[in-house]
């Protein structure tokens, strides 16, 4: 049975879609349909907001609730908004307890940063007050490397669109970081400098190929 939500540490991840605007050959979904050899993340259908919320249960049990999974979550933009609105309203209308560092669980979005390109409009303002933190996969120091590594369906338009998404995210989302996968083809220091120039946090994600089985 496909997994809608799955636990990693003190965070709960929401698996909304297997659709993506990239075809990255290094993506873990190309290596296994099971994340951590445990959670079957290849969906037989895309869950409604109601199904996702039911699967979450009590959000107070988690430090973070993360839109991620085996696809690009912003393809399900309306579902993201509906789930986040409900989670925020639950806090306002109930007395559930959360960790001491935050009054409510942090709601995070992990994205490849191509949502505005996909939707043909700037969607970031729609996330204001709903998304507390966003992690944007930069994954390359220039458009040429990005094309080779990530194989975006939008072609050459993808890489500059990510930069515009990052700039917009800074206006509306409290915490913004860019991340890269630690691959030999990626110049990590160059990516780190890009993040610094953009004024956002930077994170290197380890590559887990040896962890997954086909």
Q: Residue 48: which CATH number? A: 3.20.20.70
Q: pTM of this prediction?
A: 0.88
Rounded to an integer, what distance in angstroms lies between the CA atom of residue 156 and that of residue 15?
28
Range(s) of the domain holding residue 131: 5-209
Residue 52: inside a domain: yes
How distant is the alpha carbon of residue 90 from its chain centre?
A: 22
Which tokens is 165 given? 């998404």
Rounded to an integer, what distance in angstroms lies between the CA atom of residue 120 and that of residue 179?
24
- pLDDT at residue 69, rounded to an integer: 82
Which tokens is 39 given? 């959670």
Residue 137: inside a domain: yes
Tell me how many domains the chain contains.
1
The count of other CB atoms within 10 Å of the CB of residue 198 is 18
Give the HSE-up count for residue 65: Cα atoms under 13 Å, Cβ half-sphere.
27
Residue 110: inside a domain: yes
Residue 26: inside a domain: yes
Q: What is the pLDDT along the chain (214 residues), one digit of tens a residue?
A: 678 898 888 999 999 999 999 999 988 777 765 666 676 678 889 999 999 999 999 998 899 999 998 899 999 999 999 999 999 987 654 444 444 444 578 999 999 999 999 999 999 999 999 999 999 999 999 999 999 999 999 999 999 999 999 999 999 999 999 999 999 999 999 999 999 999 999 999 987 654 444 3
Q: In terms of C-beta density within 10 A (0-12 exposed, 13-18 middle, 19 or more buried), how is residue 79 classed?
A: buried
Q: Given the structure tokens 């995210």, which residue do they identify?
A: 169
Residue 214: inside a domain: no
Classify strands 39-40 and 64-68 as parallel, antiparallel or unpaired. unpaired
Handedness of CA 199, 173, 13, 17 (dihedral sign): negative
Contacts of 185 (CB under 8 A, 6+ apart): 145, 148, 149
Residues in the chain: 214
Contacts of 165 (CB under 8 A, 6+ apart): 111, 113, 114, 115, 116, 124, 136
Could you tell me the CA-to-CA distances from 1 to 6, 34, 40, 43, 211 in Å, in that order? 13, 11, 7, 8, 21
CB-CB contact of 83 with 106 (8 Å): no
- pLDDT at residue 8, rounded to an integer: 86
């Amino acid at each position: 049975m496909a997994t809608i939500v799955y636990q990693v540490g003190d965070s709960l991840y929401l698996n909304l879609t297997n659709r993506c605007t990239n075809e990255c050959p290094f993506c873990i979904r190309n290596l296994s349909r099971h994340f951590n050899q445990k959670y079957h993340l290849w969906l037989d259908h895309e869950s409604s907001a109601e199904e996702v919320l039911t699967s979450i249960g009590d959000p107070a049990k988690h430090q973070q609730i993360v839109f991620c999974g085996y696809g690009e979550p912003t393809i399900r933009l309306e579902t993201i908004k509906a789930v986040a609105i409900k989670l925020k309203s639950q806090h306002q209308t109930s007395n559930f307890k959360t960790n001491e560092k935050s009054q409510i669980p942090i709601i995070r979005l992990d994205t490849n940063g191509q949502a505005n390109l996909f939707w043909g409009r700037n969607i970031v303002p729609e996330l204001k007050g709903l998304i507390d933190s966003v992690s944007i996969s930069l994954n390359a120091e220039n458009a040429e490397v990005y094309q080779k590594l990530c194989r975006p369906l939008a072609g050459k338009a993808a890489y500059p669109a990510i930069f515009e998404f990052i700039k917009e995210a800074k206006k509306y989302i409290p915490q913004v970081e860019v991340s890269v996968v630690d691959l030999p083809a990626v110049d990590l220091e160059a990516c780190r400098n890009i993040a610094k120039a953009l004024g956002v946090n930077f994170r290197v994600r380890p590559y887990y190929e040896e962890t997954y089985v086909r």
